[in-house]
Amino acid sequence: MKYSETQEKALETAKTANALLQEEIDYEVFGQHLRMGRKRMGLTQAQFSEKMNLKPNFYGEYETGKRHINFPRFLQFVCVTQCSADMLLRGCHKD
């Protein structure tokens, strides 16, 4: 399958970002920040996992740091929680 130049660049960017996510994430810290984002929304794990189209126990493993995250799922968490990537990864936020 041939990709356009734009698609090739997007694919390469996604691969690079995914590699960075796998190397640099403290998954326990990420899970704590994900939990804070969910609670800020006023949702239970079951309600949030439904929004994410995940089984509650599968989602719970993200919050406990037992499950690693890939780039597409990370972007989904950013969009659904409406938290910045920095906030989810490092706890950085502007208050």
Flag whether pLDDT at 11 surpasses 50: yes
**Residue 95 has what pLDDT?**
43
Backbone dihedral angles phi then psi of residue 18, each to the nearest 5 degrees: -60, -40
Q: What is the pLDDT of residues 27-83, one digit of tens each?
A: 899 999 999 999 999 999 999 999 999 999 999 999 999 999 888 898 889 888 888
Interatomic CA distance for residues 28 and 35, integer angstroms:
11
**Residue 94 has what pLDDT?**
45
Interatomic CA distance for residues 49 and 35, integer angstroms:
12
